[in-house]
Every structure is written in structure tokens, then in C-alpha cells.
Amino acid sequence: MLIGADILDLERIKIIERKKSILCRLFTPLELESTVKLNYREKIITLGSMLAAKEAVAKALGTGFTDTIGTQDIQIIINENGERKIEFLNTAKSFADELGVTEAHLTIDTENKLVVALVALERGFFI
């Protein structure tokens, strides 16, 4: 089992939310599209949740964000029911496959101005 956690201050998201170039670097088009119909508060919480989750995933993979794995390599899907899903893309997919990741679990909690994300990645057994 590989574990990663991250705590994020939502003030960071409020600052970058107005800067499209930064948003496009941190989030995939699908992630950004999922926030279009949200009100401002929901958008900030959702973007913060996704970014904290991406950081937690990168930590669980043992790399953090580096030249090898970037924010565009991990996609967080949060549907209208609040269900969360981690998708490995590009080099993160290759890296997760090499580590034998078979399942990815994500929980996110928000409290006041903070978001906490916890990720557990299950690994398959090899003989």
C-alpha cells in the first residue's frame, strides 16, 4: 500500500483562480470544465480539492511533482454526487503501472479554509 496526503489552504486557490495560464498548467481541460457551472465558493473548494488530491497522489507514487510527473499527468474527477476518482495519465500512468498499482482510493475533507486529501494506492502481488 502506498499512502500520500496533502493539506492545502484555499487562499492559494483564490489567488490563482483569476490567472487562466496558471489554471491551465495545474488542471486538465476536463477538470476545469467540471467547475464551469459551479458558483464561486464551490469552484474554489473543487479546484482546491483536486489540487490537494493531485499532490497526495504524487506523494503516494513516491515522486512528488518533478520533471517526471507533473500536474497534467494526474486527473481528479469529482462528479455531481461528490464521488471522486483518480486517473493516471501520461508518465504517471506508466509509473503507476511499473509500481503495480491496481486500485486508487481518495478521500477529501474541507474545513473552513483548508482542504485535506488522503490517497491510498493498492499494489498487486507479483510472483
The residue to which cell 464521488 is assigned: 83
The pLDDT of residue 5 is above 80 = yes
Whole-number average pLDDT of the chain: 93
pLDDT of residue 127: 47
- Using pLDDT thresholds of 50, 70 and 90, give the confidence band for residue 82: confident
Whole-number Å distance between alpha carbons of 32 and 29: 5
Whole-number Å distance between alpha carbons of 98 and 13: 32
Does residue 67 have a known ligand-binding role? no
CATH label, 2-123, candidates 2.40.50.100, 3.90.470.20, 3.30.70.150, 3.40.50.300? 3.90.470.20
Q: Where are the domains of the chain?
A: 2-123
Sequence-ordered strand ranges (E) for the chain? 2-9, 74-78, 84-88, 101-111, 114-123
- Using pLDDT thresholds of 50, 70 and 90, give the confidence band for residue 78: confident
Q: What is the pLDDT of residues 94-127, one digit of tens each?
A: 999 999 999 999 999 999 899 999 999 999 865 4
